[in-house]
Chains A and B, each alone.
Chain A
């Protein structure tokens, strides 16, 4: 039962209710960073990394600080500060200790602070009343779902470079229409996990 529940959360946030394509979280970077598969992949990894850590930290704050003292209304401000601090700390840590990661993710980390997927998922965790493990699984699924969607998008955009797009459609408009097709495809997964 417990495992099935975790699996359900994971599949839901990754595929059936994909963070980007059906919950509309983190769209700016979705269009901004998907111009090459390489950068899309790095962005995906960064987001996954930050979402999982942020889910964990914000769960502790929510459960041991905000809920016991009935200060849920401060949730937004506390979570966004946690995320901003966390991103800063991660940045400093990997710059010092893991230069390989720094080269890969360095320029994407600052973008993650204002990525609504991270704040969005921590808020969902808290609103749904997930426990610690469920929050982690939800965060991981969201990150991987983000990576999946952004990499697919980058792949399609790579192919599109060889296509003749009408002038008025070039750039953002065609990207949104690709997004529409992908959202439609992912919409087909809805109702996938019904018992």
Chain B
């Protein structure tokens, strides 16, 4: 088992790789359900991003702590228990302090449990890494996810309702394209953004 040497540079690397190089949404295309379902407005997207980041950081941390005492055969159920504990915690906290967002996200808060990003990071990284790198990885992935969700929900909110965070920003007389906040709009936005990244990747790749 390879354990990364312990220094600041590797921590930074673990942190930044989740934001750009291995962005969970745009590069690895993981955890698509919440990315499409709750991105009808920027505040919902941000709420989802922050909740997921919280769960990612803490589940990565705990999984890394218990990684040496958990027998290999039962590691998946144990990961599931740890992850769902933090998901329920987030759910209760959101219900208590930001009830509006809690209501808007609805069933997708408990569904963070089955978000492939979290299980994927637990399995591929946290169960093999020391605590600090695991936390850095979770934080980076979480921020990468939050950014992706914010971009998608921002685009959808601006085009679909002509507002951003509830404030009117489009010129007067703009009639919102409602389709963008309906289910098809989610697929269209995601498809076009992925296409854009791929196109940029092709362009840059050709130069190098």
User: Judging by beta carbons under 8 Å apart, are A27 and B88 in contact?
Assistant: no
Inter-chain contacts of A174 with B (CB < 8 A):
191
User: How many residue pairs bridge A and B at CB < 8 Å?
Assistant: 117
For A24, list chain B residues within 8 Å (CB). 33-34, 36-37, 183, 186
Q: Which A residues are in CB contact (< 8 Å) with B91? A: 73, 76
Query: Which residues of the partner chain A approach B36 to less than 8 Å between Cβ atoms?
Result: 24, 27
In the complex, which residues of chain B have a beta carbon less than 8 angstroms from the beta carbon of A169? 195, 198
Interface positions of B (Cβ within 8 A of A): 29-34, 36-37, 76-77, 80-81, 84-85, 87-88, 91-92, 107, 110-111, 113-116, 119, 179, 182-188, 190-192, 194-196, 198-199, 202
Can you pick out 13 interface pairs between chain A and chain B where the beta carbons lie within 8 Å of each other?
A21-B183, A24-B36, A27-B32, A31-B32, A77-B85, A80-B84, A80-B113, A85-B77, A168-B198, A173-B191, A173-B195, A181-B184, A183-B183
B residues near A85, Cβ cutoff 8 Å? 77
Encode A98-126 as 1/0 by CB contact (under 8 A) with B: 00000000000000011110011001100
A73 to B93 Cα, complex, angstroms:
12
Which residues in B have their C-beta under 8 angstroms from that of A155? none
Query: Known interface pairs A24-B183, A25-B33, A183-B183. Does A76 touch B192 (Cβ–Cβ under 8 Å)?
Result: no
Q: Which residues of A contact B198 (CB under 8 A)?
A: 167-171, 173
A residues near B (Cβ < 8 Å) are 21-28, 31, 73-77, 80-81, 84-85, 113-116, 119-120, 123-124, 127, 167-177, 179-181, 183-184, 187
Min Cβ gap B89→A in Å is 10
The reply to whether A28 and B116 form a contact with Cβ atoms under 8 Å apart is yes
Q: Is the interface of A mostly helix, strand, loop or mixed?
A: helix
| Nearest Cβ on chain B to A118's Cβ, whole angstroms | 8
In the bound complex, CA of A63 to CA of B150 (Å) = 38
Establish whether residues A73 and B88, one from each chain, have CB atoms under 8 Å apart when the complex forms. yes
Residue in A closest to B38 when the chains form the complex, CB atoms: A24
B180 to chain A: closest CB distance in Å?
A: 11
A101 to chain B, nearest CB (A): 23
A81 touches B77 (CB 8 A): yes
A119 and B31 alpha carbons, distance in the complex (Å): 15
Q: Is the CB of A173 within 8 A of B192?
A: yes
**Chain B: CB-nearest residue to A21:** B183
Chain A residues, Cβ within 8 Å of B113:
76, 80, 119
CB-based contact B80/A28 at 8 Å: no
Q: What CA separation (Å) do A124 and B107 show in the bound complex?
A: 8
